[in-house]
Amino acid sequence: MGDERPGSDIAIKVRGLVNRFGDVLVHDHLDLDVMRGEVLGVVGGSGSGKSVLMRSIIGLHEPNEGSIEVFGEEIRNRDAKELRHLQKNWGVLFQEGALFSSLTVAENVQVPLREYTDMSQTLMNEIASLKLDMVGLPEHAAAKYPSELSGGMKKRAGLARALALDPPLLFLDEPTAGLDPISANQFDELVLDLQKSLGLTLFMVTHDIDTLRATTDRIAVLVDQTIRIGTVKSLVHDKHPWIQEYFAGVRGRAALA
């Protein structure tokens, strides 16, 4: 079950997506629209294919069938040069930040700048400083290595790197996983502030119902190899057993309260 909206308003358009691993069918002709400027949360049980869906959209996994458009450009069947050009339109915050351990925080933020531009080192230093400030990291964090950072600081550094090229679209993979409740709430507030101030479109894979409640406009639930769309409040009334347990169970009720 997908959403049909005017094409000009669609940031990500997925049609007929099939992902199969051997005899295991993960996505069965899945349809999904992500609208420009919205925060879409993606949830589902273990093995439902949340990360596979994200990786399919950003070109890191080749689906068996279907089409994927980002800002009107088909992602599938592109050569490496074409895909690389399209990938400048989005940033990705992978779980745990996925920082390079041998690089400083500033150097990590500069990785996309080195890969996609030929700007001077001086300018890259200035941009890295700006992005780190944007995500709330102190100036001295720039010279630190990932091993010297807390979990929350690693997430912020990864977010700064995802924003390095000023992309209009961000993919967040379990952004609050491993954070204590206070740090998770602060990170949610940061992400929402950046989304509003920069006009970003966010595609966020998460299991955190507090994050869903605090940040999302809509939620895509992966169940039974397909997808259901709603909000935290509307999905409480969905009769699917997994959705009922997730949104109307004890933790779901607490988050709504």
> Treating both helix axes as pointing N-terminal to C-terminal, what angle do 105-116 and 121-134 enclose, rounded to 10 degrees?
120
Tens-digit pLDDT profile for residues 38-88: 999 999 998 899 999 999 999 999 999 999 999 999 999 898 889 888 999
Does residue 257 have a pLDDT over 90?
A: no
Tens-digit pLDDT profile for residues 166-195: 999 999 999 999 899 999 999 999 999 999
Q: Specify the pTM.
A: 0.91
pLDDT of residue 248: 80
pLDDT of residue 1: 41
The helix/strand/coil state of 197 is helix
CA distance 184 to 169: 21
CB 18 within 8 A of CB 28: yes
Q: What angle do CA 33, 35, 36 make, to 5 degrees?
A: 145
Does residue 250 have a pLDDT over 80?
A: no
Residue ranges of the alpha helices (H) in the chain? 50-57, 80-86, 105-116, 121-134, 151-162, 181-198, 209-215, 232-235, 241-248, 250-256
CA distance 15 to 30: 6
More confident residue, 10 or 251: 10
- Written as one string, the DSSP assignment of 71-100 is TTEE-TT--HHHHHHHGGGEEEE-TT----
Tens-digit pLDDT profile for residues 92-127: 998 766 899 999 999 999 999 999 999 999 999 999
> Treating both helix axes as pointing N-terminal to C-terminal, what angle do 105-116 and 151-162 enclose, rounded to 10 degrees?
20
Percentage of residues of the chain with pLDDT beyond 90? 81
pLDDT of residue 247: 87
β-pairing, 218-223 vs 226-230, is: antiparallel
Give the domain ranges of the chain.
37-59+80-256
Whole-number Cα distances in Å, 113 to 128, 166, 240: 9, 10, 45
* Structural domain 37-59+80-256, CATH architecture: 3-Layer(aba) Sandwich (3.40)
